[in-house]
């Protein structure tokens, strides 16, 4: 199958699953930043009794999780599949939950969640960002603008997290010359600050892959590369990071 035939085949199969109201294409392929080896990211938006067993019954090779198996937060499960030789991710999206988080975001309210492979974790409004940037293949979904209230509240939370990350680093890791821990903390604080920068601009974020570049914070690479197991040098690196994050 060529890419368009493949896309139609997967979208039709997912849309036919019981309780599914819409199917989207996300990730780099939705934003035209992909390369030939990029995987395919789909989401199924369901209401009510979605059963992962119905997805398994499609017969595609791979792993299909139960609902809630990915921690029970806004990312509540999904599948890693191989379809026609292509790597495919399918995310579950509960429409009742998505609509709740959309209403909260419009009031400037959200919460933070940990998520594997995301250094800074994620905001609950990430599922709203998906609505705004992903490509709807089947069904209908809202395409929200970035709420003005969120532009006020999100930068405060993210910058506060970055400040606390660096404050803890100064007291716990710097005096002991623990360069690895400092490197990790600087990476986390950089991602937290980048979230703040993009939120202040009213720009949606769906993952961390290009977050530092978009926020103009790639200079953190040089700071991390120069770390040494010397408390004085580590303290200087934290100072430089703080100066970068304040720009």
Residue among 134, 136, 137 at smallest CA distance from 13: 137
- Mean pLDDT of the region 81-92: 95
Average pLDDT over residues 177-188: 98
The pLDDT of residue 41: 94
Q: What's the pLDDT band for 166 if we cut at 50, 70, 90?
A: very high
pLDDT at 178 over 90: yes
Mean pLDDT of 64-74: 87
Question: Above 90 in pLDDT, residue 36?
Answer: no
Check whether 29 has a pLDDT greater than 90.
no
Please tell me the predicted confidence (pLDDT) of residue 48.
87
> What was the pLDDT predicted at 111?
97
Q: Which residues of 220-237 are buried (b: 16+ CB within 10 A; e: fewer)?
A: beebbeebeeebeebebb
pLDDT at 37: 75
- pLDDT tens per residue across span 93-151: 999 999 999 999 999 999 999 998 999 999 999 999 999 999 999 999 999 999 999 99
pLDDT for 38 = 83
Return the DSSP state at 117.
Answer: T
Given this model, what pLDDT does residue 34 score?
A: 75
Averaged pLDDT score across all residues of the chain: 95
pLDDT at 244: 98
Token pair of 174 as six digits = 């710097």
CA distances for 198 relative to 129, 172, 192, 216, angstroms: 12, 29, 10, 10
Give the pLDDT band of residue 217 (cuts 50, 70, 90).
very high
User: What SS3 class is residue 90?
Assistant: strand
Position 30 confidence tier, pLDDT thresholds 50, 70, 90:
confident
Residue 9: other Cβ atoms inside 10 A: 13
How much is the average pLDDT of 26-37? 80
Which residues lie across from 130 on neighbouring strands? Answer: none
Does pLDDT of 33 surpass 90? no
Is the pLDDT assigned to residue 72 strictly greater than 90?
A: no
Q: Which two tokens stand for residue 119?
A: 């250094």
225 pLDDT above the threshold of 80: yes
Q: In sequence order, what are the residues at sequence separation of 6 or more whose Cβ sits closer than 8 angstroms to the Cβ of residue 161? A: 112, 120, 192
What is the band of 173 on the pLDDT scale with cuts at 50, 70, 90? very high
Question: Which tokens in the block code for residue 215?
Answer: 């926020």
**Residue 4 token pair:** 């368009």
* Residues 10, 17: Cα–Cα separation, whole Å: 11
Contact indicator for 83, 10 with CB cutoff of 8 Å: yes
Q: What percent of the chain is modeled with pLDDT above 70?
A: 100
Q: State how far the Cα of 243 lies from the Cα of 247, in Å rounded to an integer.
A: 7
């Amino acid at each position: 199958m060529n890419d368009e035939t493949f896309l139609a085949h997967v979208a039709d199969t997912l849309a036919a699953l019981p309780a599914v109201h819409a199917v989207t294409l996300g990730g780099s392929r939705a934003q035209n930043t992909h390369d030939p080896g990029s995987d395919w990211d789909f989401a199924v938006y369901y209401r009510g009794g979605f059963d992962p067993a119905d997805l398994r019954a499609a017969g595609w090779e791979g792993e299909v999780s139960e609902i809630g198996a990915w921690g029970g937060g806004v990312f509540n499960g999904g599948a890693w599949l191989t379809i026609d030789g292509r790597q495919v991710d399918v995310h579950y999206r509960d429409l009742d939950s998505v609509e709740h988080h959309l209403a909260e975001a419009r009031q400037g309210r959200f919460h933070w969640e940990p998520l594997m492979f995301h250094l800074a974790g994620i905001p609950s409004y990430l599922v709203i960002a998906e609505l705004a940037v992903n490509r709807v293949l089947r069904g209908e979904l809202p395409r929200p603008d970035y709420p003005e209230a969120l532009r006020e509240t999100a930068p405060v939370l993210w910058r506060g997290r970055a400040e606390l990350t660096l404050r803890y680093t100064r007291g716990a890791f710097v005096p002991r010359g623990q360069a690895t821990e400092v490197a990790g903390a600087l990476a986390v604080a950089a991602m937290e600050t980048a979230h703040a920068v993009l939120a202040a601009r009213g720009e949606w974020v769906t993952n961390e892959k290009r977050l530092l570049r978009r926020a103009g914070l790639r200079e953190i690479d040089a700071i991390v590369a120069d770390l040494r197991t010397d408390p004085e040098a580590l303290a200087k690196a934290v100072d430089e990071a703080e100066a970068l994050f304040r720009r």
